[in-house]
Amino acid sequence: MISTQQKNIRHLALPELEEYFLYIGEKKFRAKQVHEWLWQKHAHGFDAMTNLSKELRHNLSENFSLPALTIDATQYSSDGTVKTRFKTYDGHLVESVLIPTEERKTACVSSQIGCSLNCKFCATGYMERSRNLTFDEIYDEVSMINQQSEKEYDKKISNIVFMGMGEPLLNYNNVLKAIDRISAEDGLGMSPRRITISTAGIVKMIKKLGDDKVRFKLALSLHAANDKKRNEIMPINESNNIRALVDALNYFYKLTKNEITFEYILFKNFNDSQKDAEELVKIYRQVPADLINIIEYNHIDRFNFSNPDENTVQNFINYLEAHRVNVKLRRSRGKDIDAACGQLANKENV
């Protein structure tokens, strides 16, 4: 028999729940009812499970915990973007973003509280990493952003990107388990093909994604096309260099055939020259990548870089297109509420 000892009930699989209910003399189908409350009806307390008797709800509350994220603050951008600061059961704060367009409603979710990679252009990188989010906390982020989308735009979220706070591949097990729950028929029922994990580049874990034959998309935050420059802005590159990343991405693609995207933030007089574009094309041709996303730099106080002018941006894109690169310019969303790429930092002025 399982030992509960105030175990998080969402960390029990359905067969374990069934075992528990049979043990206490309840019908097996009660487990399925509870499972539905937890993963499809998004109950954040046992009292909400109204088709269970009061006695049974009391039994569950005595024997199990149900920690869940709560909304601490919400901000609305002039462009329709919604940033939410969530509070964990143990008092930590973490931010997520709903990004609406005509075509899609995207949830940008976090995987860690803070980050340990110290990318120089990212506000989260200047925070201490407090801990990983558990898979059920990540699920809470997605389900509550989905509720926001239905309320604000009368549509469910269509896409999920793990591009919020933290490095997803350094919280590998929880992220994959969250995606399993999100994509399960008895979860949110979302296709893994609509989910993208963005990584700063952890070679070993990219290869593990291939070994595990995951079904979601992968984006590499590249941001510089040679090791010298990438080392300057992304310390992780010193132990996971571009050559190793290219090999890992090819390994991942060989085993999964999943879409790969490069992300590239343009910084004025740093990585925006024609030579930089030439080096980027060379990397692009070494990987079966679908796309390079050119991203606007969003200012943070502790990084003394700026955006290139529009002509420089367009010339950079023109060069890529002339060399048969599939490229898109991604305009920032939610800058006025510090919700854009690289700006998430749990600021107290929310």
> For position 341, what pLDDT does the model report?
62
The mean pLDDT value for 122-129 works out to: 81
**Amino acid present at 347:** K
Residue 127: predicted pLDDT: 83
Collapsed DSSP state (helix, strand, coil) of residue 277: helix
Q: How many residues does the chain have?
A: 350
Look at residue 335 in the predicted model and tell me its pLDDT.
61
What's the mean pLDDT in 162-175?
96
* Per-residue confidence band for 2, with pLDDT thresholds at 50, 70 and 90: very low
- Average pLDDT on 57-80 reads 94
What is the average per-residue pLDDT within 4-23?
Answer: 90
| 122 is known as an active-site residue | no
146/158 Cα distance (integer angstroms):
9
Q: What is 70-337's CATH number, 3.20.20.70, 3.40.718.10, 3.30.413.10, 3.40.50.10610?
A: 3.20.20.70
B/e letters for 263-290, b = 16+ CB within 10 Å, e = fewer, are: bbbbbeebbbeeebbebbbebbeebebe
Q: Which of 18, 55, 95, 115 is catalytic?
A: 95
Q: Which of 108, 119, 122, 341 is catalytic?
A: 341
Closest by CA to 147, choosing from 44, 65, 67, 57, is 44
CB < 8 Å & 24+ apart, contacts of 187-193: 187/39, 187/40, 187/139, 188/139, 188/142, 188/143, 188/146, 190/157, 190/160, 192/216, 193/217
Kindly tell me if the per-residue pLDDT of 342 is higher than 60.
no
How many whole angstroms separate alpha carbon 335 and alpha carbon 342? 10
Q: What is the pLDDT of residue 348?
A: 47
Can you state the angle between helices 274-286 and 310-322, rounded to 10 degrees? 40
The per-residue pLDDT for 301 is 75
Q: Please state, in angstroms and rounded to a whole number, the distance separating the CA atoms of residues 35 and 29.
A: 10
pLDDT band per the 50, 70, 90 thresholds, residue 82: very high
E-strand ranges in 228-290 read 260-265
- Provide the terminal-to-terminal Cα distance of the chain, rounded to the nearest Å: 46
Judged by average pLDDT, the poorest of 30-44, 119-133, 189-203 is 119-133
Is residue 95 part of the annotated active site? The answer reads yes
Per domain, the residue ranges of the chain are 7-65, 70-337
Q: pLDDT at position 350, please?
A: 39
Q: What is the pLDDT of residues 83-123, one digit of tens each?
A: 999 999 999 999 999 999 999 999 999 999 999 998 988 88
Q: Which pLDDT belongs to residue 136?
A: 98
CATH number of 7-65: 1.10.150.530
Helices and strands: H and E segment counts in the chain? 10, 14
